[in-house]
Amino acid sequence: MDARPPLDLADFERGPLPPGVAHGFTPRRGGVSSGPYASLNLGLSVGDEREAVLENRRRVRVAFGVDADRWMTGRQVHGTGVLVAGRDLAGADGDVLISDDPAWALAVSAADCVPVVLVDARGGAVAAAHAGWRGAVAGVVGAALDALADRFGTDVGDVHAWLGPAIQGACYQVGEEVVAAAERAGAPAHAIWPDPGVADRWRFDVPALLRAQLMAAGLPAAAVAASTTCTHCAVDRCFSHRRDHGRTGRHWAVVRAPR
């Protein structure tokens, strides 16, 4: 394996979250994986060499200054299950991770789905959520907000949100069943439009649905930011499950409560 130095947080795409909140979306470069997984693949179940993935994960942990036994991930099932860092077993089913302990880092995996980072600017609690279209229509961001309120007393008016890099609407073609589910979940009209080249298909902007849901829950518009990076388009910078027909790596969106 190569000997390049650990990653730095400056290598990660980050959002306009409150000061002191260590967070970011991992880059594609900076790791040791090869082939379709080159180079900072963080997914252990996509066909990459295990030793390479573990080294890649180590590099990310070093960048965040968090020990391996204080690193929280869940088994993502496109649902609304919540795991609490330090209390629930890492790796259990859960698409929402929450914490108020700066000793812990939370990481959700993505390669087109929307990673959502939430920060309680007053109380310091944080959440990371994995939001594919199924999770979005099931209400995963609402589940994350409810969990922060129930567990840590977070007031939704104090929450800042960042939607990380994901496949953007112009590149995301879906069928009628997805459109129907999105409309039931409150998708705004501008989030869905007919595919200009294929009959009976639509384009769906999942981040637009999530933004609408967050604002409906009480977040001010100014507190909801979204990356403009399209994982499908950014070939050199992003893995994309759809673009690469499933044979590709995974990114992490990571957040840690402020010290």
| CATH code, domain carrying 111 | 3.60.140.10
**Residue 193 β-bridge partners:** 203
Report if residue 237 sits inside a domain. yes
What element of type H or E holds 211?
helix 206-217
Q: Average of pLDDT values for 178-207?
A: 97
pLDDT at position 91, please?
80
How many structural domains does the chain have?
1
Report if residue 104 sits inside a domain. yes
- On the question of pLDDT at 209 being above 50, the answer is yes
Q: Average of pLDDT values for 197-202?
A: 96
- On the question of pLDDT at 21 being above 70, the answer is yes
87 Ramachandran zone, left/alpha/beta (phi>0; psi -120 to 50) = alpha
pLDDT at position 6, please?
67
Q: Average of pLDDT values for 50-67?
A: 96
| Helices 140-152 + 206-217 axis angle, to 10 | 40
Q: Which domain holds residue 143?
A: 9-166+229-256
Q: Is the four-CA dihedral 86, 227, 216, 184 of positive or negative sign?
A: negative
pLDDT at position 46, please?
98
42: nearest Cα among 254, 257, 212: 254
Mean pLDDT of the chain: 96
Report if residue 200 sits inside a domain. no
Q: Average of pLDDT values for 130-157?
A: 98
pLDDT at position 1, please?
47
- On the question of pLDDT at 177 being above 50, the answer is yes
- On the question of pLDDT at 96 being above 90, the answer is yes
Q: Average of pLDDT values for 128-143?
A: 98
Report if residue 202 sits inside a domain. no
If pLDDT is split at 50, 70 and 90, which confidence band does 5 have?
low
Report if residue 187 sits inside a domain. no
Report if residue 3 sits inside a domain. no
Report if residue 213 sits inside a domain. no
Across the chain, which distance is largest between two alpha carbons, in Å?
Answer: 52
If pLDDT is split at 50, 70 and 90, which confidence band does 197 have?
very high
Please give the torsion angle defined by the CA atoms of residues 50, 56, 62 and 67, in that order, rounded to the nearest 10 degrees: -20
Report if residue 144 sits inside a domain. yes
Please name the amino acid found at residue 176: E
pLDDT at position 77, please?
97
